[in-house]
Structure 1
Amino acid sequence: MANAAANGLSTRDLYLFNKGNYFHSYRTFGAHIVQLDGKAGVRFTVWAPNAKQVHVVGSFNAWNGDSHIMEKNGETGVWSLFVPDIGAGAAYKYEILTSTNERMLKSDPYAFASELRPSTASIVTELFRFNWNDGDWHQRKLEDSPVHEPMLIYEVHLGSWRNNGRELFWTYEQMADELVDYVVRMNYTHIELLPITEHPLDQSWGYQTTGYYAATSRYGTPAQLMMLIDRCHQKGIGVILDWVPGHFCKDDHGLREFDGTPIYEGKDWKRAEKPLWGTLAFDYGCTEVQSFLISNAVFWMDVFHIDGLRVDAVASMIDLHFDKPPELYTYNAFGGTENTDALRFLKRLNEVVFQYYPNTLMIAEDSSAWPAVTSPTYMGGLGFNFKWNMGWMNDMLRYMALDPNDRMRHHNLVTFSLMYAFSENYVLPLSHDEVVHGKHSLLNKMSGTYEQKFAQLRLFYGYWMTHPGKKLLFMGGEWGQFDEWKDAESLDWMLLDYELHGAMHTYVKSLNDRYGTTPALWERDSDPGGFEWIDVHNAAQSIIVFMRRGHAEDEFSIIVCNFSYHHYPEYLVGVPKPGLYRTAIHSEAAAFGGSVPTADSTKVHHSNKTAWHGRPCSITLDLPPLSFQMLSFANGEPRRNLEKTVLH
């Protein structure tokens, strides 16, 4: 292909792209600042197989592409052109002449930056010269499997964590100073960003994307985003990106009918349509689309050092009937409703990502009952290493909304999740989806009076933190945001000046610390041997007691949750060993907004010889209403440490 060589393209790369095996296609496609024949300029490359002609138009030619006609590279469907004497900052689009002689202006699918909405031009950008300082972080990632490490994720929408007013966003650089330090102080291990890929509508929160390779210009430049991620890594914080391969929006400048025909969405319009969201699904059986999407996943890890992806709406990808009316039903070649192309795509995606980036995070947001989502592909699984536990989330939020007097009849909502807790590697999500669209904030979901809502939320957080699985909490939940999330406004930071909200903030910080420093709560998350019921059947009193175990023999914690309004001043709990048990954290401590004096909330309990709950000995606890307690086996600790009162 002479045209490819003349424009500095590799015929091998174009061949791999067409076959669905070019996993770094961003190094070829898009706008790249290069030198050809001793001249500096920009090489433009785009896939538009059914176009009659493609022009590059932009700020450098007064948006008239007559003198910048791209050359088609054989039968690859790829067009390219080298334009000398332009560089970073130039705005451009592709003017496509369709097979029906219609002219369309399209943004670059591989653009590394875009104009601030509502403008839609792509921007020539140099991405590959940032000076990273996170080598130590990546070395640690290679050494530690995330399955056996703590993972406490703070989910963030950058436009509303803090801002200076409606559409007056903080920059990535400001976030690098403020957000990262806050996350470190609060003892989180990871930040998860709602999609920051370029999107036209603020209210979509990034879930309806036009620019998969462009960090949104709302918050600044790609270099500023790199600064934010680099700062996270230097502070020991991982960064997860919400990634949306399930659908794309229909805006005219985007991927829809990109060359006048449906090349990204596929020819079957019934399969392409996503009526619930007003979007289009990708054609996962198209090899060029596979190269585009898998390269995009690799791109964020390679170029931006992202530590993992939360893959959005997996259930909608693998089910051909997902949220569709009957008139849009289609079936696979075997007569079933599984999207076999999407299943093959997801497996290949995970295989490629883990080939290049072992121990990265590939997290499926999947509400289906599809089996083996987090099993390796060679064992028949989809190949993710984590999956959101939507069943646990739905059951527990329903349970916590009940009047405690009615909970005895719904005890299974608390206990059922342990029937399947070890079937996958789970993340327990308390995400943005649960605090919008009339669902109320987490605090306002709780039943009871104002004070009881806080007690219940502290109890719920305690149970969540000690249940098997990694954790995710949406911003604002850490102090009990009372109103639903408002995506156009800043979080209600002023609530921290109110006593109970400030105390909740202190509690969550302390609970986060206990989680991170207690291996029993995360070392064996996916191992049934890391969990043991002590009392699962006490529906009448709405109390559960269980144990979490670490790898070391004496590394275990006892968890007691009283979901009732009743006070049990002398409640007997069976324990596996005689000795001392230290109260590691008590949700009703006065410092957290509860009624128990601090000294009493951190006491040491001596076991007695009374066998109970099938255990050889027991301890006696005071269980206030709506309370959570975690006790650690403390025989190995010096007594001076046991008698300390410490609130983190």
Structure 2
Amino acid sequence: MDFASRLSNLPLLDPSFFDMHTQISLTDLGRLVDGHLENPSSILGPHTVDYRGTKATAVRSFLPDAQAAWIVDQPTGKRRPMRKLHPAGFFEAICSGTVDATSIGHNDEVTPSTHSSYRIQMADKTGKLIETNDPYAVPSILTDFDRYLLGEGKFYRLFEALGAQLRTVDDIDGVNFAVWAPNARIVQVVGDFNGWDGRGHVAKLDMSVGIWELFIPGAKAGQKYKFRILDQHGQWIDKTDPVGFAAELPPLTASIITDLDKHQWNDDAWMERRAATDPMHAPMNVYECHLGSWQKGPGRTHGWLDYRDLAHRLVDYCHRMNFTHVELLPVTEHPFTGSWGYQTVGYFAPTSRHGSPEDFMYFVDYLHQHDVGVLVDWVPAHFPKDAHGLRRFDGSALYEHEDPRQGEHPDWGTMIFNFGRNEVRNFLVANAIFWLEKYHIDGLRVDAVASMLYLDYSREDGGWIPNQYGGRENLEAIDFLREFNVAVHEHHPGAVTIAEESTAWPGVSRPVYDGGLGFTYKWNMGWMNDTLTYMQKEPIHRGHHQNDLTFSMIYAFTENFMLPLSHDEVVHGKGSLISQMPGDVWQKFANLRLLYSYMWTHPGKKLLFMGGELAQWNEWNHDDGPDWLLLDFESHRGVQDLVSDLNKLVIENPALHQLDFTGDGFEWVDCMNWQESTLVFLRKGLPGTEPILICCNFTPVVRSNYRVGVPKSGFWKEIFNSDSERYGGSNVGNYPGSKSTGDGHHGRPDSILVNMPPLGVTMFRLEK
């Protein structure tokens, strides 16, 4: 049967249909068809109208691809033809008598109990019949309580309502789109499902919360989409979904409808153990990694490995190196690869450079199943100016400040979030919860915290606006950071937050209830700067700078510190760590081994950027990554073995990790011998654990028979020597150890004689 015959055989429910006239003005109809009607729901969907003195229901649809359309009464299955009032595809049916108007809708509203009383059936240009829900008769995905939380800035699960949510309405599958754009005049949803023509899919505005929403039947996972926004200046702009779960591979910029519930997690044991473990007293050896350059794969786009391949390789490597965690440079979607991920556009989307969201879930799941934690860098301080991103999202300064003295970052050419807006804080806190919940991330390292805390950060006089009290502190950002930390620790016990904070701001890692910011850890940037400055000096000059090393113990327990030798120390002309070391080649390697050994025995959790464990000569390049071929040389393999053994020592010896954040875990034995540039100290654990004695020699001169005071008599076994031949050293040491002599020294009742190797560290533990 041809199309015309099929149309003629469809029953007409109400012959008086053809005598009814539309009550829509031609102006509004024209603006709707052109895509310029600001409130399309005032026309489209079911509306109560007055017809010949009685109430009737007008059902209207804009179906650009339809030749003909009907409304189908759900209880009876009967069809009612819709009249085509505009050749662009505007249809209307006015129902009276035979269809109860209240079953379709009244007072321009549709309640959840009545929205399903009819559907729209259309014949497309090929004659195919398609039946769907009326998008303008579907109730909002938001509840009244959701709206209340949004207004308060406390809707931490907004990722379950905003963005593109897979949804089934009356057995019709589709996608619910919702976006915050309170100052937009019109928001259209455009994508693969409508040929990127949004005239038929103009969202409805909920003025109480500034959210535009539309359910689109037939839209499905895998399809690309954007929000097309008409701003207050009459300009159309296409924007990526701020809550989009996936995105196209840059430089393409569309969001992708994604089902985040497909992956079957198998890391229950890890998650239960994490929740029951106090991270303060647990070992933490962190391998900082840029996934795009850590290892490359031939034949792949830019050599990028996929998340699944990376998971297997990283697990094997972390086990080989005894790292407990990996910390990933930002994995959120970013347009410019050279930003390393720190200029994020897709805050809810793992970058497509390495695969899909499900692939990244596999990555985290696999690492957890093999006892490796996953931390990610998170960037709530700023976002880039890319046209498809958050900047002037609805034509106004929505996420950022209007005033550039508050809203633009002079160092990075980026926009600063307006932490004073409830909705912006809500967006960011919900984003943090999202990564912990949907991807089982174990912790977030917050980038550039110092830039958030100070209004005058990197600004000249007159280039910033003081707070309400005339000060330089960013009070709104402080409140945000506290709210973020409270929410993370409340909703996900065992997860950690880490602050990259380079100033002396007090209480960064102290509880919010005690006046702190609430972070679990703070990067010890002071230790990093002082230690590298000291290590870069020729050994002959180090004696005059002993305080550069000992000063860290003055403040070591004022915060819960993590010691970072991060990517920031091996970029922008600084050179690699080994290239920063003084001396000839042998001394450079010895100094690097000395640096790592001192770092791993110093109180605090440990972080090392990839390539550092290889003694890489070149500074890091995000296009190339570590030079793995260096492992063909014994000297480089020796440094790698040293890092692996140091990690193992931290894990196996409670004295090296249990009391990282209290003075009870550290004791100077001798820090005053600046003439010989030596340091001797004890690391201690909880009662019942044996202390570790650490002896450091920062010169290339062997210190033979160096007397060191010890707290107990007996045989002190040498458990580590950075000068071992295994690591490429000269093998000066004390194997198998040293027996105490009975002579008191350094204020201790007994002492041992130690051979301190050149530019080396030795560790001893009392044998029971």
Aligned mate of 1:461, from 582, 591, 596: 596
Q: 2:612 aligns with which of 472, 477, 483?
A: 477
Say if 2:220 is the partner of 1:64.
no
Partner Cα separation in structure 2 for residue 262 and residue 318 of structure 1: 21
Please tell me whether Structure 1 or Structure 2 has the larger radius of gyration of its CA atoms: 2
The answer on 1:513 being equivalent to 2:652 is no
Is structure 2 residue 730 aligned with structure 1 residue 595? Answer: yes
2:116 is matched with none
Letter in 2 for 1:36: V
Taking structure 1 as reference, are residues 364 and 4 closer, same or farther at Cα in structure 2, changes over 3 Å only? farther
Query: How much does 1:127 deviate?
Result: 0.6
SS in 2 for 1:147: helix
Partner of 1:563: 698
Letter in 1 for 2:633: Y
Contact 2:382 2:417 in 1 (8 A): yes
State the alpha-carbon separation in 1 of the partners of residues 577 and 369 from structure 2: 32
Structure 1 residue 4 displacement after superposition = 10
Question: Structure 1 residue 13 and structure 2 residue 146: aligned?
Answer: yes
202, 205, 229: which one aligns with 2:364: 229
Instruction: State the AA in 1 paired with 2:233.
Output: T
Map residues 417-456 of structure 1 onto 2, 5 A cutoff.
417-456=552-591
Alignment partners' CA distance in 1, 2:194 and 2:423: 30
- Residues 284, 4 of structure 1: alpha-carbon distance in 2 compared, 3 angstrom cutoff: farther
> Which position in structure 2 is the counterpart of 1:116?
249
Cα displacement string for residues 227-268 of structure 1 (whole angstroms, at most 9, x for unaligned residues):
110111111111001000000000000000000000100333
Query: Structure with the greater relative contact order (CA < 8 A, sep ≥ 6): 1 or 2?
Result: 1
User: What per-residue deviation string (whole Å, max 9, x for no partner) do you get for residues 411-441 of structure 1?
Assistant: 0011000000000000000000000011111
Give the alignment partner of residue 143 of structure 1, picking from 276, 285, 299: 276
CA deviations over 1:187-223 (Å, ceiling 9, x no partner): 0110000000000000000000000000000011111
Distance 1:276 1:586 in 2: 43
Match of 1:207, SS state, is: coil
| 1:614 alignment counterpart | 747
The answer to whether the aligner puts 1:161 opposite 2:294 as a matched pair is: yes
Counterpart Cα distance in 1 of 2:569 and 2:285: 18
Matched-pair contact (CA < 8 Å) for 2:331–2:351: yes
Q: Tell me the SS of whatever aligns to 2:178.
A: strand
> Corresponding residue for 1:323?
458
**Residue pair 1:588, 1:601 contacting (<8 A) in 2 also:** no
Shift of 1:402: 0.1
Where does residue 37 of structure 2 map in the other structure? none
Query: Hey, what does 1:241 align to over in structure 2?
Result: 376
Picking from 222, 228, 250, the partner of 1:95 is 228
Is the CA contact 1:266–1:272 (under 8 Å) kept in the aligned structure 2? yes
Q: Matched residues in 2 for 1:329 and 1:80: separation?
A: 37
Counterpart Cα distance in 2 of 1:4 and 1:151: 54
Give the Cα–Cα distance (whole angstroms) in 1 for the partners of residues 611 and 450 of structure 2: 27
Distance across 2 between alignment mates of 1:38 and 1:15: 29
Q: Secondary structure at the match of 1:167?
A: helix
Is the 2:655–2:689 contact (alpha carbons within 8 Å) kept by the matching residues of 1?
no
Give distance in 2, aligned partners of 1:511 and 1:563.
18
Is structure 2 residue 174 aligned with structure 1 residue 24? no
1:132-281 maps to which residues of 2 (within 5 A)? Answer: 132-164=265-297, 167-281=302-416
- Residue 324 of structure 1 deviates from its aligned partner by 1.7
Given candidates 530, 534, 541, the residue that maps to 1:406 is 541
Does the CA-based 8 Å contact 1:7-1:36 persist in structure 2? Answer: no
Q: How far does the alpha carbon of each residue in 1:135-155 deviate from its partner, in whole angstroms, 9 at most, with x for none?
A: 111111122100000000000
**Partners of 1:405 and 1:565 within 8 A in 2:** no
Q: CA deviation at 1:327?
A: 3.9
User: Between Structure 1 and Structure 2, how many residues are aligned?
Assistant: 633
How far did 1:329 drift? 1.2
Q: Which deviations, in whole Å up to 9, do the C-alpha atoms of 1:566-591 show, x marking residues without a partner?
A: 11111100001101111110000111
3-state SS in 1 of match to 2:681: strand
1:396 aligns with 2:534: no
Question: 2:678: which partner in 1?
Answer: 543
Indicate conservation of the 8 Å contact 1:4/1:11, yes or no: no
Q: Report the CA distance between 1:15 and its aligned residue.
A: 2.2
CA distance in 2, matches of 1:32, 1:554: 53
Question: When the two structures are superposed, what TM-score results if normalisation uses the length of structure 1?
Answer: 0.96
Q: Structure 2: which amino acid aligns with 1:75?
A: S
Distance 1:455 1:48 in 2: 58
* Structure 1 pair 64–517 and aligned structure 2 pair: CA distance change class (3 A): same
Deviation at 1:6, TM superposition (A): 1.2
Q: Deviations over 1:386-422 (max 9, x none)?
A: 0000000000000000000000110001100000000
- Distance in 1, matches of 2:377 and 2:720, equals 32
Asked if the contact 1:503/1:591 (under 8 Å) is kept, the reply is yes
Structure 2 distance, partners of 1:461, 1:418, is 17
Partner of 2:209: 76
Distance 1:8 1:506 in 2: 55
Q: Contact 1:246–1:282 (CA<8 Å) still a contact in 2?
A: yes
Indicate yes or no: 2:178 matched with 1:49.
no
Letter in 2 for 1:278: G
SS of equivalent residue, structure 2 residue 383: coil
The structure 1 residue matched to 2:172, chosen from 39, 58, 74, is 39
Q: Secondary structure at the match of 1:6?
A: coil
SS at match of 1:333: coil
Q: Distance in 1 between matches of 2:358 and 2:438?
A: 11
Aligned to 2:441: 306
**Residue in 2 aligned with 1:629?**
762
- Contact 1:388 1:428 (8 Å CA) reproduced: yes
Distance 1:52 1:75 in 2: 15
Per the alignment, residue 639 of structure 1 pairs with: none
Inter-partner Cα distance in structure 2 for 1:350 and 1:602: 47
What amino acid does structure 1 have at the position aligned with 2:289?
Answer: V
Work out which of the residue numbers 626, 638, 653 in structure 2 matches 1:491.
626
| Partner secondary structure for residue 173 of structure 1 | helix
Residues 334, 343 of structure 2: 8 Å contact kept: yes
More displaced, 406-415 or 57-66?
A: 57-66
**Structure 1 residue 181, shift from structure 2 partner:** 1.3
